[in-house]
Chains A and B, each alone.
Chain A
Amino acid sequence: MYHGVVVSEPLKRTPLHAAHVKAGARLVPFAGWEMPVQYAGILEEHRTVRRAVGLFDVSHMGEFEVAGPGALAALQHLTTNDVTALEVGQVQYSLLCTPNGGIVDDLTIYRLATDRFMLTVNASNIDTDWAWVTRHSAGGAEWTNISADTALLAVQGPHAEALMARLTDTPVAGIRYYSFGLGQVAGARALISRTGYTGEDGFELYAAARDAEGLWSALLEGGASLGIAPIGLGARDTLRLEMRYLLYGNDIDETTNPLEAGLGWVVKPSKGEFLGRDAIETVRAEGLSRRLVGFEMVARAVPRHGYRIQVDGRPVGVVTSGSYGPSVNRCIGLGYVKSAHAAVGSPIQIEVRGTPWAARVVKTPFHTSSVKRG
């Protein structure tokens, strides 16, 4: 039932909207975009990525470029990770934080040249991130928002490299995890990044928006004998959850700090000053009152964002993400719990529709990673 909700703007569409409709996608609103949540079905799509290769349209995500003699300093100030450790041709996962240590967004940074970088940000945060980086940037750094002109396709699964080898002369076998190359894929110029959000080997392809449809078709055709299928946001979520990859808005936001979220590994206080550094170091010194943990349900009840976590009837936390995990054949989730209940093995209960269901804190990731390290 509609209760007088006014939609001020129509949903945005990626360059691949027509392709999604043709492929039988179920389209839903996500972060102001009309996106495919599924095609053949979430569980089948999830399994296709783990066993063969899947193709994702994530063109709704945002991309910014920053260039100039002040670009490195601007990024060092804005982000938690150490950008001086990032070499040309490499990618770095990082965070934008507020001065009180909350998280503005998680992002990846690509070093295109000594003084030129690309940032990839969450679709839900494009406008806030753009305002944030431009506001907190000093001189000598020129920012460009290239989101509207940039398509982003992800090719993920054990057959991803074989598929890419069919469509590009760039020696993709030589592109290491969290590195990238520039080349042509099916005739379109692309930045080929060995990154992803699934835990499988794979690539993310940045191309001009006008080349998106041709690239999408070429990948589906080229991958047909490898078992390729288009994959929607539903399976994207079950895949990332099994790997304990975080989702901004669910697991992290401006009320969470990196240390309690388990992201201390991308916080480098020794690099010097950055937005949020003092607040984060204070938290480190005082100790964490809560931690983001992974848990599995004993029975098959599905944990979902916002469900309360209790221990013997006392509230101890909240679920931030949860689902059935097809590769682990259990219901799994992430949630913040008071530190006393954060140890692996701790029994907790998840309140599902008013009833506590048994769960336990477990090690993460829930599923073994197959990314090509080393």
Chain B
Amino acid sequence: MASVPEGLRYTREHEWAKAEGDRVRVGITAYAQDQLGDVVFVELPAVGAAVRQMQGFGVVESVKAVSDLFAPIDGTVAEVNAALGSTPELVNQDPYGKGWIIVITPSDPAQLESLMTAGDYEAFIASGGH
């Protein structure tokens, strides 16, 4: 499997978080999409919804599994990836790019520092990812 992108932060539930100016883009990792299998549906929150760190904000469904999505940081939903409505497979094909899921306006940008670095996350999945 390709190595985990540097410059992103990671959660223990296999979400990635990318600082983009004053916003944070969120998706799931290549490891997560591989574990899930073919994604067929993503249940997205409403724009403007509040999210809290490690609370569920949506659901990603594969053919065989339903998996909660957990917010990496506190904030409000600024954008959701509407393309996932017709092409949920973007999550499998391009999990760090076109398969992004939401963008958050963080209430405390410093919270990103509490997340795993790429190196931490690689070690995490190497030891089982739990």
Residue of B nearest to A323 (CB): B63
Per-residue A-contact encoding for B38-60, CB less than 8 Å = 1, 0 else: 10110100000000000000010
What is the total number of residues of chain B having a CB less than 8 Å from a CB of chain A?
15
What is the total number of residues of chain A having a CB less than 8 Å from a CB of chain B?
18
Per-residue B-contact encoding for A216-236, CB less than 8 Å = 1, 0 else: 000000000000000000100
Asked if B109 is at the interface of the complex by the 8 Å CB criterion, the answer is no
Contact B38 A300, beta carbon cutoff 8 Å: no
Contact A300 B85, beta carbon cutoff 8 Å: yes
Asked if B74 is at the interface of the complex by the 8 Å CB criterion, the answer is no
Contact A302 B41, beta carbon cutoff 8 Å: yes
B63 touches which one: A238, A299, A300, A301 (CB < 8 A)?
Answer: A238
Residue of A nearest to B42 (CB): A300
Taking CB atoms and an 8 Å cut-off, the chain A residues in 285-302 that contact chain B are 299-302
Contact A43 B88, beta carbon cutoff 8 Å: no
Contact A43 B63, beta carbon cutoff 8 Å: yes
Q: Which residues of A contact B89 (CB under 8 A)?
A: 43
B40 touches which one: A299, A302, A353 (CB < 8 A)?
Answer: A302
Asked if A25 is at the interface of the complex by the 8 Å CB criterion, the answer is no
| Closest chain B CB from A236 CB (angstroms) | 11
Residue of B nearest to A42 (CB): B63
The distance in angstroms between the C-alpha atoms of A87 and B89, with both chains bound, is 48
Contact A324 B59, beta carbon cutoff 8 Å: no
Contact B64 A37, beta carbon cutoff 8 Å: yes
Contact A353 B59, beta carbon cutoff 8 Å: yes
Contact A324 B41, beta carbon cutoff 8 Å: yes
Contact B38 A331, beta carbon cutoff 8 Å: no
Contact B38 A41, beta carbon cutoff 8 Å: yes
| Closest chain B CB from A108 CB (angstroms) | 26
| Closest chain B CB from A46 CB (angstroms) | 9
Residues on A lying within 8 angstroms of B by beta carbon are 26, 37-38, 41-44, 234, 238, 299-302, 304, 323-324, 331, 353
Please list the 9 inter-chain residue pairs (A to B) with the smallest Cβ-Cβ separation, ordered nearest first.
Answer: A324-B40, A43-B38, A42-B63, A300-B41, A302-B61, A302-B41, A42-B38, A41-B38, A234-B63
Residues on B lying within 8 angstroms of A by beta carbon are 37-38, 40-41, 43, 59, 61-64, 66, 85, 88-89, 92
